[in-house]
Amino acid sequence: MRHLSVLNKYFVPYKWYLLSGVFFVTISNVFAVLSPKIVRDTLNDVYHNIDRYHLLGDTPEAVALRGHVMHLVMMAGLWLLAYALLRGIFMFFMRQTIIVMSRHIEYDQKNEVFDHYQRLSTAFYKNNSTGDMMSRISEDVSRVRMYTGPAIMYLINLVVLIALCLWGMLKESPMLTVYVVAPLPLLAWSIFYVNKIVNRKSETIQAELSGLTSQAQEAYSGIRVIKSFVREQNAINLFSKVSGAYRKSTINLSLTESIYFPAMNFFIGLSMLLTVLIGGWQFMKGNVSLGNIAEFTMYINMLMFPISAIGWTANMIQRAAVSQRRINEFLHAQPDIENAPHALESAITGKIEFRNVSFTYPHTGILALKDFSLTIMPGEKVAVIGKTGSGKSTLVHLLLRMYDVSSGEILIDEVPIKQRELANLRRQISYVPQDVFLFSDTVANNIGMGLMKKDDAKVLEAATMAAVHGDIGQLAEGYDTVTGERGVMLSGGQKQRISLARALIKDPAVLILDESLSAVDTRTEQTIQQNLNVYLREKTALVITHRIFKGWNFDKIIVLEDGQIAEQGNHEDLLKQNGHYAKLYEYQTNIEN
């Protein structure tokens, strides 16, 4: 239950919803417990007048007495109807306050979780699956809402109703009350015992549900690969295996939960039996009236729902506690990358300096960079060439502070990047990643996502510079065409060029291209290079590649091997060294010829 204590902060803004709900619950139950008293008084009046009615025989007094009794019964019926109507009205208000409050809290909590996800570092996403994160923000938050809404509502309702019923019963006959409620503590104990088992099984089920969600999400994301390798049946079998384990656990939980209702029926039935037996004995001794027995019977019937709701409510609370614990695990996770106190916000001119930088990936332990040093002056164009796994992309991750260096430091304009404000730093660096990601939105919105406000002219200019304007014009709805999930409606080259346009529209001080033209044909690539030569005239550019771009006049070319600089210089210098670069150039030239 301690995991649920973090929810207290959510109740504060909606305290009037909660207090109003408590008021409406109390009033609705007051009208509920008035009904047995009406039945008691009416039944006693009828019982006391029966003998007198028979003694009067067929006389006008008997007719008048019968009319009086019928009037009492009719008025009692009207009062019962009025109480039921009033109770229904206040129960409606009860739901409109407490349940509405829970929806507001659900909204706030989902926003908090999503906001926290946005602030967490790249390492967090490497260590946790997308399906698990989705499960916690959807399934787990929904289970918590069942606690902040229905569970609290029924808990307040059962506490108030049980208190009012016990007060009404004790007021009439303390001894009969003791006998009647004696089985209820046994019921409470059995519910508590069963709930311990339910709690343990609920944790297992929630973990299995996260695995099931992850399995489904992975299959949907990789559906083209699955189909191309004809692995549909294998995917079905894997999902069926995970789903089967989840089904087995939920059936097992349902079996445990099914103990609730037989136990409740037994103990409630026992209370009813004691009401009739002990009540009848007390009636014969003259300690209670016939109306009291009917009154107690109604009280017991009233207690059936709140007592039965104890198990259901306790189960919801236990499940909510499990879900909130899972939510707390992520909410308590702190981002590895945070702003330093008094972080600097200033314009970047483009000088970049790596000083003896080494870096090991925390989630794999792979040493990606070893004592790497490099200075890039403002406006310089630098290419970093190397084989896969040589550490090229790691440079970008460190420059954008997706990770912090293991040792050494990186400076921009003579200021360590750890002292720069993160958003300000990333806003002035445009990055076109190797793995292109487009949102399921219009082409225009994908290109213009870096703008503070919509600007169609800038979108058109960026698309033209990225040589994708012509392709967009051929789409059914042009710039208003929805790209589909991850840009599924577009070719690989189109996606890369839209991603490039998205980077160019920001007008950054530093542009980073990471294998960002690998799916583009040679002629289009040449057009883009010509456009970028003009665009990058006064900007710093870092081009990550495994091949040589002949159309670019780089100020520096760095050849990386195993996280270290193997060769460095301009094109002519590296050809003279007759090393890896020269061999790559010769190989590429032969292929092209």
Which of 138-147, 189-198, 228-237, 327-336 is the least confident region?
Answer: 189-198
Distances (CA, A) of 347 to 328, 413, 535: 38, 9, 19
Average pLDDT taken over every residue of the chain: 84
Does 322 fall in a domain?
Answer: yes
d(CA 114, CA 117): 5
What pLDDT shows up at residue 547? 78
Per-residue HEC secondary structure of 468-498 comes to CHHHHHCCCCHHHCECCHHHCCCCHHHHHHH
| Residue where one domain finishes, among candidates 331, 360, 390 | 331
What pLDDT shows up at residue 439? 85
> Are 257 and 381 within one domain?
no
Whether 80 shows a pLDDT value over 80: the answer reads yes
Whether 489 shows a pLDDT value over 80: the answer reads no
For residue range 426-449, list pLDDT tens digits in order.
889 999 888 888 888 888 998 888
> Are 443 and 472 within one domain?
yes
Contacts of 526 (CB under 8 A, 6+ apart): 551
* pLDDT tier, 97 (very low <50, low <70, confident <90, very high otherwise): very high
Whether 233 shows a pLDDT value over 90: the answer reads no
> Are 389 and 537 within one domain?
yes
| pLDDT > 90 in the chain, percent | 20
d(CA 209, CA 215): 10
What pLDDT shows up at residue 66? 67
Name which of 38, 246, 31 is nearest 135 in CA terms. Answer: 246
* pLDDT tier, 579 (very low <50, low <70, confident <90, very high otherwise): confident
What pLDDT shows up at residue 94? 92
Does 31 fall in a domain?
Answer: no
Q: What is the mean pLDDT of residues 159-177?
A: 88
d(CA 440, CA 220): 15
CA dihedral 142, 143, 149, 150 (to 10 degrees): 130
Q: What is the mean pLDDT of residues 312-328?
A: 85
Q: What is the mean pLDDT of residues 542-571?
A: 85
> Under the phi-then-psi rule, with left for phi > 0, alpha for psi from -120 to 50, and beta for the rest, what region is 478?
left
Does 298 fall in a domain?
Answer: yes
What radius of gyration, in Å, describes the C-alpha atoms of the chain?
37
What pLDDT shows up at residue 585? 80
d(CA 183, CA 165): 16
Does 382 fall in a domain?
Answer: yes
Does 29 fall in a domain?
Answer: no
The helix (H) or strand (E) run that includes residue 81 is helix 60-119
Q: What is the mean pLDDT of residues 131-156?
A: 88
Domain containing 278 — which CATH number? Answer: 1.20.1560.10
Q: Which pTM does this prediction carry?
A: 0.74
DSSP state of 137: I
> Are 419 and 507 within one domain?
yes
**Bigger pLDDT: 340 vs 593:** 340
Q: What is the mean pLDDT of residues 476-481?
A: 87
Domain containing 391 — which CATH number? Answer: 3.40.50.300
What pLDDT shows up at residue 30? 92
Domain count, the chain: 2
Between vectors from CA 177 to CA 174 and to CA 180, what angle results, nearest 5°?
Answer: 155
* pLDDT tier, 100 (very low <50, low <70, confident <90, very high otherwise): very high
Q: 562: which strand partners?
A: none
Instruction: At 393, list the tokens.
Output: 């992309």
What pLDDT shows up at residue 26? 92
| pLDDT > 70 in the chain, percent | 94
For residue range 490-542, list pLDDT tens digits in order.
888 888 888 889 999 988 899 999 888 877 888 888 888 888 888 888 899 99
Q: What is the mean pLDDT of residues 366-392?
A: 89
Whether 331 shows a pLDDT value over 80: the answer reads yes
Burial category of 538 from C-beta neighbours within 10 Å (exposed 0-12, middle 13-18, buried 19 and up):
exposed
Does 300 fall in a domain?
Answer: yes
How far from chain centre, in Å, is Cα 455? 33
Whether 227 shows a pLDDT value over 60: the answer reads yes
Whether 261 shows a pLDDT value over 90: the answer reads no
> Are 460 and 543 within one domain?
yes
* pLDDT tier, 358 (very low <50, low <70, confident <90, very high otherwise): very high
Whether 58 shows a pLDDT value over 70: the answer reads no
> Are 358 and 285 within one domain?
no
Does 281 fall in a domain?
Answer: yes
Contacts of 488 (CB under 8 A, 6+ apart): none
Asked whether 567 and 579 are in contact (CB, 8 A), the reply is yes
**Bigger pLDDT: 28 vs 227:** 28
> Are 290 and 369 within one domain?
no
What pLDDT shows up at residue 262? 79
Instruction: At 96, list the tokens.
Output: 């409109």
> Are 318 and 405 within one domain?
no
> Are 381 and 279 within one domain?
no
Does 30 fall in a domain?
Answer: no
d(CA 32, CA 87): 7
Amino acid 254 reads S
Contacts of 123 (CB under 8 A, 6+ apart): 336, 362, 363, 403
Asked whether 372 and 433 are in contact (CB, 8 A), the reply is no
Domain limits at 279? 100-331
Asked whether 7 and 144 are in contact (CB, 8 A), the reply is yes
Whether 53 shows a pLDDT value over 60: the answer reads no
> Are 277 and 388 within one domain?
no
What pLDDT shows up at residue 210? 75
Burial category of 52 from C-beta neighbours within 10 Å (exposed 0-12, middle 13-18, buried 19 and up):
exposed
| Residue where one domain finishes, among candidates 331, 360, 394 | 331
How far from chain centre, in Å, is Cα 93? 29
* pLDDT tier, 365 (very low <50, low <70, confident <90, very high otherwise): confident
Starting at the earlier edge strand, list the strands of the sheet with 407-412: 367-376, 352-360, 407-412, 415-416
Q: What is the mean pLDDT of residues 208-235?
A: 79
Between vectors from CA 441 to CA 437 and to CA 447, what angle results, nearest 5°?
Answer: 65
CB atoms within 10 A of CB 27: 18
> Are 259 and 384 within one domain?
no
SS3 18: helix
Instruction: At 521, list the tokens.
Output: 């044909």
Q: What is the mean pLDDT of residues 574-582?
A: 85
* pLDDT tier, 263 (very low <50, low <70, confident <90, very high otherwise): confident
Q: How many residues does the chain have?
A: 593
d(CA 243, CA 267): 37
> Are 187 and 283 within one domain?
yes
What pLDDT shows up at residue 121? 82
Q: What is the mean pLDDT of residues 86-104?
A: 93
Asked whether 518 and 436 are in contact (CB, 8 A), the reply is no
Asked whether 577 and 567 are in contact (CB, 8 A), the reply is yes
**Bigger pLDDT: 454 vs 357:** 357
* pLDDT tier, 56 (very low <50, low <70, confident <90, very high otherwise): low
- Most confident among 16-30, 248-262, 574-588 (mean pLDDT): 16-30
